[in-house]
Structure 1
């Protein structure tokens, strides 16, 4: 356990239920650049070649689109047990108690609902996958960078993650007219592994994938464009997090991002900023992206998540 009492170490994977399974698998294992490492009866596990995680995306064939779960790592089995007991004592609804995990790499973990009804998994002792260094000009994801979640009650969701899981606030984007729009939350020196966005309903905002560098990020973005996939926003560079961004839609309307150079900060000295979202240099320092507007924002609201407070079947 860290000196601050934080028990989570990093983001492991994001799991999606998809009605158009074959099309989604072709997208993520094809033009997006992930590697299918296992498949079983309509469930595919997709890894990033540069990551020691067994997989960073899981796709499950289902009749309805939903976010199945977000998975985080812990350093030790004892930390998993400690967190489970802590959450239970705090009245958090557990889906399962700590036990052996029967997915690629195994491990020891448990699941629970967050305040908005999303399924969260925490695990330790997952076997590391053999991975490799991503080479120059190789425009495929190195690892999972972060996940952004829509919440209709931004303050409540932020407070829940701070209180129960030890997340710390890095920065906030605020509108002069609409108030707080996005909170960037961290569990390490990485500027954020999760962000919470103000939305009309609970849903997935986007999943972000780290590229080797700026050249690889641009090459990957260009590959998606040449393949005819719809670009929502980018290429540009955010102020909060200082990372490059290009956002696309996957075949079933989930937003996915190529990014690189996300800021590493000194947690001992960092003080959160509040940035004015209406300033163009806040959303894009370079000025190269198409302007942020209501249509782009609405796309990122995604569909209402039908999986709130309903545990995924696997």
Structure 2
């Protein structure tokens, strides 16, 4: 293995880019966002949404007849904003800039002026639309909520090192208290164009690329993208993009204290009749311990802990995509997680495949064959 590739060994992928492949970052981005601020959804039943949210581990930050704001224990803006509407849909993400000057710079580059956010949230936003049609808010100076009491991580006796003596481990069977919003995953029919849009406009950088089996020469089909905070480490991915037959939300992820909080919180969710999608396991890209759930409106949400943190020096890893390659340990990826379980969602995706193959986008017949290989691997 050449010196160019040694940087990846033991970190996230043993292989880096080949000559001429995507560099995973823009040379001169407009701004560099710091993090996700929140995600926005529309749902018809706010009472049902709030009941699940509390079981999942959120705290209600604010509630009106038409809007629900959910937060974690970390200080900052609410993690999730839900508006009452006729149907269920993902409205889009909001990313946070370092300061208002970045917002003005983005406004000048895009020709879209900043507008005030509602008083309940505070600050200002530049509302953009990415190439897949998703509304993307870039916000500055929202209200900062104070920290809440956090769920304390457990103390472990590791190997022969005794740090816990005359004390027992008794994690309570209670909701895993959400600390913060970690990332969102979206699917797009215009993967390469959408990827470049985020790198150029928001200054994000790729941590890992995945490509379909035997299709590396066609370029990646998924990317895990982090915020560029310079020498300060950031989450392995704040946004993940994957090529597919429709433009849609895939899942969002929320950090909890540790494995015990995640596992005991999962037992609480099961006790209250909620449905696990996949877990518990540990991912490869990002290394997070994970547990996936479906909320009552069908949205997939993830508890995670112990994720990788990268600074700006690490170059993208490259690896083939496979269902078995999604986790280091844990049960096999479920049909529900992969979106192929019989039901409304898989039927919608099947119709989307037919439509996508008729349109001019990146999801063509060969890409479909690659996706089917991934799902069956």
Quote how far apart the aligned CAs of 1:54 are: 2.8
Matched, 1:228 2:252: no
Residue in 2 that maps onto 1:173: 210
Counterparts of residues 98-177 of structure 1 (less than 5 Å): 98-136=114-152, 139-176=176-213
Q: C-alpha deviations, 1:11-57, integer Å up to 9, x for none?
A: 111010112332122211x2111111212231111111x22223111
TM-score, length basis structure 1 = 0.85
Structure 1 position 283 matched with structure 2 position 326? yes
Cα distance in 1 for partners of 2:125, 2:337 equals 37
Question: Is residue 77–residue 125 contact of structure 1 (8 Å, CA) maintained in 2?
Answer: yes
1:63 aligns with 2:86: yes
Contact 1:105/1:129 (CA < 8 Å) preserved in 2? Answer: no
Residue aligning to 2:255: 210
Query: How far, CA to CA, are the matches of 2:30 and 2:57 in structure 1?
Result: 36
Matched residue SS, 2:136: strand
Among 280, 299, 302, which residue is 1:257 paired with? 302
Q: Which moved more, 1:234-243 or 1:211-220?
A: 211-220
2:224 is aligned with 1:184: yes
Could you tell me which of 84, 87, 99 is aligned with 1:76? 99
1:115 Cα offset (Å): 1.1
| Structure 2 spans left out of the alignment, 5+ residues | 1-27, 153-170, 229-233, 350-377
SS for the counterpart of 1:31 is: helix
Partner of 1:312: none
CA RMSD of aligned residues (A): 2.3
Whether contact under 8 Å (1:25, 1:59) holds in the other structure is: no
Q: Per-residue deviation at 1:172?
A: 1.8
3-state SS, counterpart of residue 307 of structure 2: coil
Check conservation: 1:139, 1:217, Cα contact below 8 A: yes
Aligned length: 289
Task: Work out which of the residue numbers 265, 269, 285 in structure 2 matches 1:240.
Answer: 285
Residue 135 of structure 1 and its aligned partner are, at CA, apart by 2.7
Which residue matches 1:309? none
Larger radius of gyration: 2
What is aligned with 1:47? 71
* Partner of residue 7, structure 1: 32
The TM-score with structure 2 as length reference comes to 0.71
* Partners of 1:176 and 1:276 within 8 A in 2: yes
Quick one: structure 1 residues 271 and 7, their matched pair in 2 at CA, closer, same or farther if it must change by over 3 Å?
A: closer
Q: Secondary structure at the match of 1:54?
A: coil
Deviation readout 1:156-203 (Å, 9 max, x if unpaired) = 211111122211111022331676442101113221100012222111
